[in-house]
Amino acid sequence: MQVMVAKTAGFCFGVKRAVEKVYEQIEKAKLPIYTYGPIIHNAEVVKDLQAKGVKVLSSREELYALKEGVVIIRSHGVGRDIYELLEKKGLDVVDATCPYVKKIHKIVREQCENGRKVLIVGNKDHPEVIGIRGWGDEETSVIESLSDFEKMRIPEGRRLCLVAQTTFNYNKFKDLVEKISKTRYDIIVLNTICNATQDRQIEAKEIASKVDAMIVIGDKDSSNTRKLYEICREECRNTCYIQTLDDLNPVCIMSACNVGITAGASTPNIIIEEVHTNVRIKF
């Protein structure tokens, strides 16, 4: 059996940076440590941090109730209101927001101030998108498809600005932009999909087109991993989505001559290596 592992698989820059910031605080251990939401979308990493004393705050109310401690802002970022609350509470803050996400916050704020209606292309329930929207105004909206855009009935001539969730499917974004650009609006389009996301999607598609079975590793709540799974499954119907080696059904790869492996941006290398080693040795 030949096994191909994507070179782009595993922690991206923003995720690695965020996780390292938490471990740095653990080493200092002067105050209780909290993350506002899971630091990244990977249950294994979050579980390890919790074992080391890091607590996850799940709501604004929990944040408001804090008396002391270090609050680490998750890699996905948060809205302006959370920063204001943290400042008001006088808590120690470590900002682990991915710099690429921070850039979108700045764009959204500036474009709203310039009078444009901002449309965020992404999943409205994803924490990154919720945070991005928190830097806009009451007109800032989220869309995932052309039908979402058409339902809004935006007045003709309205000045618009399109940005994207960093992990959105690049081809879907490109297709949506082409269709919206044909409408009669003054539109600024800013492709804010992370380069690492694009590279990962392109490589995953290429590998999946060459193998009999494809394994995509990542947390079930990871947006970028789910996108990888969708892309791979279009090329290889025999695609498995797993979080750890324990989730891998041997039947999926038993009869395969060529197996591909890729992983989401929040997947630790140790998990990728474990899957790779076991697939190579046992099958």
Same domain, 274 and 207: yes
Q: What is the CATH number of the domain that holds 258?
A: 3.40.1010.20
Same domain, 108 and 137: yes
Q: Which of 98, 125, 152 is the last residue of a domain?
A: 98
Tell me the catalytic residues: 128
- Measured distance CA(184)–CA(135) in Å, rounded: 26
- Measured distance CA(143)–CA(96) in Å, rounded: 26
Quote the pLDDT of residue 8.
Answer: 96
Reading the block at residue 138, the tokens are 């009451």
Q: What angle do CA 37, 32, 91 make, to 5 degrees?
A: 75
Give the residue among 71, 126, 95 at the shortest CA–CA distance from 18.
95
Same domain, 107 and 80: no
Express each pLDDT in 218-269 by its tens digit. 999 899 999 999 999 999 999 999 999 999 999 889 889 999 999 999 999 9
18-21 contacts, C-beta under 8 A, 24 or more apart = 18/72, 18/74, 18/75, 18/96, 18/97, 18/98, 19/45, 21/72, 21/94, 21/96
Express each pLDDT in 104-127 by its tens digit. 999 999 999 999 999 999 999 999
Give the residue among 3, 2, 9 at the shortest CA–CA distance from 202.
9
Strands 70-73 and 33-36: parallel
Mean pLDDT across 12-30: 94
